[in-house]
Structure 1
């Protein structure tokens, strides 16, 4: 295509990449600039063959060979009038002879062979078959309308399908976001092991039957607003027992508290002696945060009584004696 050039101004595609070659009925090409210059008044003659041409008949060249362009244009013009169908002929042989005659007419016009006689034959055929040509043209127009309707319907279906796929992609993206939010909530508020929660999350999303069989039984289920259920993994929330080489096991040692006052009541005595009568009970939100009224009351009594007999002078005398 880069070797193509305008025969008048010799401009090539290589020198001017935006070069647009145009062709007319005669089959000879001209660039768009030369067409605008030579056919400024609307009509003129071809620089190659001096054929009378009109500016409106020029079109962009689609094929590399201009002769192909010429033949395509001639074929379109001829078939507009030679539009008989196979059912219009009594035998198949007559229909084949008709098709052969059409090809001969196109070949003669494309190669400038007996052009005058060929045009006379075309005009004679048009006069003799005027009604049939109009009838077949109306059939063609109806078929074209139906074809356009089918194409438009197909476009609408394709557009609806694209919108449906786009909506489905949005839903998938929203589900992914909800799944991530649910996983984050589970990791934040659950007491279970993080690896177990992530593994359970993966099994829920993938829906794998094998993973469901391998997964431990869920003892307690938490359902978030997203609708995704995760187990709190209460049975697997314990840390593994440390090995001997990692250090000694932890042993609890009770806290020793020096009391300089009367012994405070224990948890059982708080209820029996009526300490909790004047203490407000905890609500559900406070209970969820770990607050208990009896524990708060016990701590308050311990702090009040642990230093009730404390005398700083005794401590000073003890230090002086030491």
Structure 2
């Protein structure tokens, strides 16, 4: 333990670990993010509106950015301490409970585990039934050979044909759908009982209004007209690298036509003004 000779920050042996990322700044930001999120552990269900939750997330990212880039470190640490004092009980409560996302993830893992166990049991039952069927077929063949007066070869061929047909029927039989239940948590009920859905925002829905572009000039040809009427015949075509980046020759042609035709109708006479010569 000791202090850094350059920045004089106290260093403890227990805080050192193996570097995971090549960039030290990334390593620093990841470490700060883990430390901050241990206290800033509120979930979406802890807020009345989505806007409040988004503001909270923005505040967390601002704190992490300031500490990672040494911006207002003292003031930022004061904000953190104030937040920890004001939300001490909620921080402890959130550390001991699962959020909605973690709870749903645990439910999905439980369901996946249950399905895997049921699939293994189903395969074991099928193997057991197949073994029992082979034993019964073998015993039936022996009884038929012992007590039947027919030709043994024809009896064996008949049994082989019937067994083959039975096996084909088992292969084509539809697999029964396994009922999906959770072994520990009942899916779809935990979240309903423990979490209150966020309130519905009654604000009016956004209505798109098309943009009206006033060029004050003659109409510009459309993209289709630029290609069909030969506007790009004497324009340098795009290279493979430019095309991979999303650039095409009609883009430059359209931009040049817009610049050339824009404002051609704009005159002093049209505006009702006089121009002194």
Q: TM-score, normalized by length of structure 2?
A: 0.42
- Which has more radius of gyration? 1
Q: Which gives a bigger RCO, structure 1 or 2 (Cα 8 Å, sep 6+)?
A: 2
